[in-house]
Amino acid sequence: MTEILLIRHPETDLAGTFCGHSDPPINAAGQAQLEALLETLADAKLEAVYSSDLERAQTLAAAIATAHRVPCTARPALREIHFGDWEALTWAEIERRSPEQAAAWLANYPHQPTPNGEPFGDFQARILDELDRILGTPQERIAIVTHAGVIRSFLTVRSQIDEQTAWTLTKPYCSLTRFTPQPGDRATMKVRAC
pLDDT along the chain (194 residues), means of 10: 91 97 98 98 96 98 98 98 98 97 95 96 96 90 97 88 91 93 56 48
pLDDT for res 192: 47
- Domain containing residue 129: CATH number: 3.40.50.1240
Is 129 contained in some domain?
A: yes
pLDDT for res 184: 54
Is 11 contained in some domain?
A: yes
Asked whether the CA dihedral 5, 78, 116, 56 is positive or negative, the reply is: positive
Q: Tally the domains of the chain.
A: 1
Give the active site residue among 3, 11, 80, 130.
Answer: 80
Q: For residue 30, which of 54, 48, 57, 51 has the smallest C-alpha distance?
A: 57
Is 142 contained in some domain?
A: yes
Is 111 contained in some domain?
A: no
Is 113 contained in some domain?
A: no
Is 96 contained in some domain?
A: no
140 is catalytic: no
80 is catalytic: yes
Residue 159 structural domain: 3-82+118-193
pLDDT for res 174: 97
